Amino acid sequence: MAVQGSPAVARHRLRLALRKAREAKELTQGEVAASLDWSLSKLQRIEGGENSVSPTDTRALLQILGVTDAAVVDQLVNEARQARKRGTWDDPRYRELLTPPMKTLIQFENEAAVIRSFQTLLVPGPLQTPEFAEHLLAMWSDELTEEERATRLEFRLSRRQILDRPTPPDYRAALDQGILYRDVGGPRVFAGQLRYLLDSLRAQRIDLRIVPYRVPAVVTFILPFTLLSIDGDEDPILYRESYLVDEIVTTPEKVQRHQQLFDRIWQQSFSKERTVELLEERIAELLEESDQEPPTRST
């Protein structure tokens, strides 16, 4: 398996390999840390994906854990090197506009084999049309300069490219029904956004379901979240976001709960056929509304 370009993904692969090797050796984190004269918190941060680990420390860890296969050692040491590199997301233009969790999310989107997204308010970033995204970012004109909005738009639109990869991800999105009526940019722009979702669903680029209003109200209180898996990995990461805060979660128990939650939401969603009908109906309504809009006055 070749090392990929994303430091966050390399760090993820490495931390999982180290954790699994430790568990196979039936050693506690405390025992391993003591053997290396490390603090317990250092090892916990490494296994939790919070900190990178140097190639030298990686070799020392692998020796303690009994990993002696030369090819495996070289692979993991290379992952350690890759995890410490900088990427496009560290460009000064983006650094202040992207939170650390968002930087990690973008890196995982670029390499994910499986993506599961549940959204209650908006269309997911990778599925937004340029016009929709531009109008959405315009809502932040009081907080962001025109240049900052343009930079965010550029980066957001780059996320659409994940569906054009030679091996695109298995992408499932469950969208709350209210999203169909939360138009951004006016009827025509929003109709174009829904048309893009409909066309992508029909072309099997994504699998999309609308979550009906009748689903228990508790669903509407759940933060939007995305689960991303690399190479069929059984240990996906979880990205959660709210108005003010976003986070990456790797705790197995929390990730598993969200996997189960997504499966329940998906099962309670409208069928693919009904989802198509709802999109078609809403697009027709929006286009009718746009025809009724008064013409823009010329100056």
Q: Are residues 157 and 23 in the same domain?
A: no
Residue 153: pLDDT over 50:
yes
Is position 2 within any domain? Answer: no
Last residue of a domain, one of 83, 98, 121: 83
Is position 1 within any domain? Answer: no
Residue 107: pLDDT over 80:
yes
Q: How many CA atoms lie within 13 A of 263 on its CB side?
A: 6
Buried b / exposed e over 144-159, threshold 16 CB at 10 Å, is: beeeebebbbebbbeb
Strand 237-241 vs strand 246-249: parallel, antiparallel, or unpaired? antiparallel
Q: Are residues 101 and 249 in the same domain?
A: yes
Residue 175: pLDDT over 90:
yes
> Cβ(246)–Cβ(231) under 8 Å?
no
What's the CA gap between 37 and 297, in Å, rounded? 74
Percent of the chain whose pLDDT exceeds 90: 71
Q: Are residues 72 and 108 in the same domain?
A: no
DSSP codes joined into one string, 40-88: HHHHHHHHTTSS---HHHHHHHHHHTT---HHHHHHHHHHHHHHT---G
Residue 205: pLDDT over 70:
yes
Q: What letter would DSSP give residue 295?
A: P
Q: Are residues 30 and 156 in the same domain?
A: no
Percent of the chain whose pLDDT exceeds 70: 93
Q: Are residues 51 and 162 in the same domain?
A: no
What's the CA gap between 81 and 268, in Å, rounded? 44
Domain interval for residue 79? 7-83
- Kindly indicate the confidence band of residue 254, based on its pLDDT and cuts at 50, 70 and 90: very high
In this structure, what token pair is assigned to residue 50?
């919070």
Last residue of a domain, one of 83, 104, 131: 83
For residue 214, the domain's CATH number is 3.30.870
In this structure, what token pair is assigned to residue 85?
């590199």
Pseudo-torsion of CA 18, 20, 24, 27, nearest 10°?
A: 60
Q: Are residues 172 and 68 in the same domain?
A: no
Q: Quote the pLDDT of residue 1.
A: 33
Q: Quote the pLDDT of residue 48.
A: 85
In this structure, what token pair is assigned to residue 118?
């549940």
What's the CA gap between 217 and 221, in Å, rounded? 7
Place of tokens 């746009």: 290
Q: Quote the pLDDT of residue 233.
A: 64
> Cβ(35)–Cβ(72) under 8 Å?
no
Q: How much is the average pLDDT of 183-198?
A: 96
Is position 298 within any domain? Answer: no
pLDDT, tens only, 23-37: 999 999 999 999 999
Q: How much is the average pLDDT of 80-89?
A: 83
What's the CA gap between 246 and 229, in Å, rounded? 19
Of the candidates 65, 79, 103, 63, which has an alpha carbon nearest to the alpha carbon of residue 14? 79
Last residue of a domain, one of 83, 116, 135: 83
Selection from 208-212, 228-232, 249-253 with the highest mean pLDDT: 208-212
Q: Which helix (H) or strand (E) holds 255?
A: helix 252-267
Q: Quote the pLDDT of residue 299.
A: 35
Mean pLDDT taken over the chain: 90
Residue 173: pLDDT over 80:
yes
Residue 298: pLDDT over 50:
no
Is position 119 within any domain? Answer: yes
Q: Are residues 96 and 119 in the same domain?
A: yes
Task: Tally the domains of the chain.
Answer: 2
Q: Are residues 119 and 74 in the same domain?
A: no
Q: Are residues 93 and 67 in the same domain?
A: no
Q: Are residues 75 and 94 in the same domain?
A: no
- Kindly indicate the confidence band of residue 145, based on its pLDDT and cuts at 50, 70 and 90: confident
Place of tokens 């890759």: 82
Q: Quote the pLDDT of residue 46.
A: 92
92: left (phi over 0), alpha (psi -120 to 50) or beta: alpha
Q: Are residues 133 and 224 in the same domain?
A: yes
Q: Are residues 39 and 186 in the same domain?
A: no
Is position 299 within any domain? Answer: no
For residue 64, the domain's CATH number is 1.10.260.40
Is position 297 within any domain? Answer: no
